[in-house]
């Protein structure tokens, strides 16, 4: 009967968030409404990504985004879907998207108390070869008064929630609202995200390191030393395995479930690394800490960083607590 109970107790993401909301008496359900609109956007993108090959959505839209990368049609589509969904939720005041150079300030009649920072389709350069890609988002509360850009230039530790949706062999939505991490899998026959990974905890130490070794010639000494130790452990322990997809959501999701460390270090060419603080580094760091891991920039705890520009980058080392401790020790020794 337990199996039956499990099968029939459909804990959807909406029910889950409503349960969470009930723990905050007096909350008017604004966050639940906001999250439902994010989930709606993810369902749409999931369907578009799965049909991309068939619907000829693949290929370049001709334009280039603020990052100077060729914008693929799915990028453009996903960004439009999320902007429209978030504005129509009536619960947001400022939106920051990887695809838009400037922040979107929602018109006063539709304003709400949240700011959402997001990458609508991270890893999109992998669309054509069928590698998993994803949406990454973080949610801040606006400060009082007229919304300004400072409402989104807050340290990651001020986020109320963060999560990602991975479009891969299955569509998985991973979310934290500040009390642990939970994973939901889309059941296409129901069109609902069902709780499949309750209370995710990352292993304290892992056997995998994840980095683009092609940048090795440009790494600084602590990073080079750490990777060397992964491949040739000094204490006679087995070498770590290298797993690198090149799509952040895929690499972080594996790290969260299996343990280990994911890195995008600084290098001589890019002193701040490649990944964006607001909508890549912060949400993934938030999730890692909530799952019992940690996230480090090479200088400080990632969530303590205070951004000054909405598309600013930072180096990032995140994952299993003990693995990140090792790289922190190497950077501290360098000081
Ligand atoms: P590289 C994808 O373009 C992305 O933004 C992240 O999803 C991914 O982790 C990273 O860049 C990969 O970068 O330089 O290793 O190809």
240 close to ligand 1 (CB < 6 Angstrom): no
- What are the DSSP calls for 279-295, one per residue? IIIHHHHHHHHHTT-EE
Q: Which residue has the tokens 């909508």?
A: 279
C-alpha 142/C-alpha 151 separation (Å) is 5
For residue 161, what are the β-bridge partners? 139
Pocket test for ligand 1, best of 123, 132, 244, 250 (most atoms within 8 A of CB): 123
Q: Tens digits of per-residue pLDDT, 106-141?
A: 999 999 999 999 999 999 888 888 899 999 999 999
- Confidence at residue 240, expressed as pLDDT on a 0 to 100 scale: 98
CB 81 within 8 A of CB 44: yes
Q: For ligand 1, what atom is nearest to the CA of residue 214?
A: 15
CB 255 within 8 A of CB 202: yes
If you take atom 10 of ligand 1, which residue's CA is the nearest one? 246
Mean pLDDT along residues 130-153: 94
Expressed in angstroms and rounded, the spacing between residue 20 Cα and the centre of ligand 1 is 33
Pocket test for ligand 1, best of 74, 264, 314 (most atoms within 8 A of CB): 264
If you take atom 13 of ligand 1, which residue's CA is the nearest one? 246
Q: For ligand 1, what atom is nearest to the CA of residue 133?
A: 7
CB 324 within 8 A of CB 296: yes
- Under the banding of pLDDT at 50, 70 and 90, the label for residue 27 is confident
- What are the DSSP calls for 199-261, one per residue? T----SS-SEEE--GGGGGG--HHHHHHHHHHHS-TTSPPPPEE---S-HHHHHHHHHHH--E
Closest by alpha carbon to 34, among 175, 233, 154, 128? 175
Tokens, residue 307 = 């951004």
CB 322 within 8 A of CB 230: no
133 close to ligand 1 (CB < 6 Angstrom): no
Expressed in angstroms and rounded, the spacing between residue 122 Cα and the centre of ligand 1 is 8
C-alpha 133/C-alpha 166 separation (Å) is 6
3 has a pLDDT exceeding 80:
no
Closest by alpha carbon to 240, among 207, 204, 202? 207
Q: Is 298 left (phi over 0), alpha (psi -120 to 50) or beta?
A: left
- Under the banding of pLDDT at 50, 70 and 90, the label for residue 10 is confident
- Under the banding of pLDDT at 50, 70 and 90, the label for residue 177 is very high
- Confidence at residue 7, expressed as pLDDT on a 0 to 100 scale: 65
248 close to ligand 1 (CB < 6 Angstrom): yes
Q: Tens digits of per-residue pLDDT, 65-106?
A: 666 665 558 888 899 999 999 999 999 999 999 999 999 999
| Exposure of 280 in the CB half-sphere (CA atoms within 13 A) | 31
- Confidence at residue 5, expressed as pLDDT on a 0 to 100 scale: 62
If you take atom 16 of ligand 1, which residue's CA is the nearest one? 246
Backbone angles phi, psi at 289, to 5 degrees: -65, -40
274 close to ligand 1 (CB < 6 Angstrom): yes
Expressed in angstroms and rounded, the spacing between residue 191 Cα and the centre of ligand 1 is 30
125 close to ligand 1 (CB < 6 Angstrom): yes
Task: Please state the ipTM of this predicted complex.
Answer: 0.98
Expressed in angstroms and rounded, the spacing between residue 247 Cα and the centre of ligand 1 is 6
C-alpha 130/C-alpha 30 separation (Å) is 36
Closest by alpha carbon to 297, among 306, 117, 248? 306
247 close to ligand 1 (CB < 6 Angstrom): yes
C-alpha 261/C-alpha 294 separation (Å) is 10
If you take atom 5 of ligand 1, which residue's CA is the nearest one? 123
Q: For ligand 1, what atom is nearest to the CA of residue 247?
A: 7
Q: Tens digits of per-residue pLDDT, 207-256?
A: 999 999 999 999 999 999 999 999 999 988 999 999 999 999 999 999 99
| Exposure of 13 in the CB half-sphere (CA atoms within 13 A) | 32
* Stretch (H or E) spanning 94: strand 92-97
59 has a pLDDT exceeding 60:
no
Other CB atoms within 10 A of residue 333 CB: 10
Expressed in angstroms and rounded, the spacing between residue 119 Cα and the centre of ligand 1 is 12
């Amino acid at each position: 009967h337990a199996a039956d109970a499990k099968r029939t107790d459909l804990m959807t993401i909406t029910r889950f968030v409503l349960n969470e909301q009930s723990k905050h008496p007096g909350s008017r359900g604004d966050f639940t409404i906001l999250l439902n609109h994010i989930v709606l956007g993810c369902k749409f993108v999931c369907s578009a990504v799965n049909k991309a090959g068939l619907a000829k959505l693949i290929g370049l839209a001709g334009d280039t985004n603020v990052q100077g990368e060729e914008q693929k049609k799915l990028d453009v589509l996903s960004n439009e879907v999320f902007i429209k969904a978030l504005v129509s939720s009536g619960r947001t005041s400022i939106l920051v998207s990887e695809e838009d150079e400037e922040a979107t300030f929602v018109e006063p009649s539709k304003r709400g108390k949240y700011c959402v920072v997001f990458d609508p389709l991270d890893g999109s350069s992998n669309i054509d070869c069928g590698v998993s890609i994803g949406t990454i988002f973080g949610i801040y509360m606006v400060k009082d008064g007229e919304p300004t850009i400072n409402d989104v230039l807050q340290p990651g530790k001020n986020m109320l929630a963060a999560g990602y949706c991975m479009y891969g062999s299955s569509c998985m939505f991973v979310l934290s609202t500040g009390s642990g991490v939970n994973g939901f899998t889309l059941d296409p026959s129901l069109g609902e995200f069902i709780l499949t990974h309750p209370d995710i905890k990352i292993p304290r130490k892992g056997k995998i390191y994840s980095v683009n070794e092609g940048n090795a010639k440009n790494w600084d000494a602590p990073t080079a030393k750490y990777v060397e130790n992964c491949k040739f452990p000094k204490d006679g322990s087995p070498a770590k395995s290298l797993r690198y997809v090149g799509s952040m959501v895929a690499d972080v999701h594996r790290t969260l479930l299996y343990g280990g460390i994911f890195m995008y270090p600084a290098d001589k060419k890019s002193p701040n690394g490649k990944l964006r603080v607001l909508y890549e580094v912060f949400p993934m760091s938030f999730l890692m800490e909530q799952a019992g891991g940690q996230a480090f920039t090479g200088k400080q705890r990632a969530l303590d960083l205070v951004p000054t520009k909405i598309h600013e980058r930072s180096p990032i080392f995140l994952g299993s607590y003990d693995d990140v401790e090792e790289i922190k020790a190497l950077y501290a020794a360098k000081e």
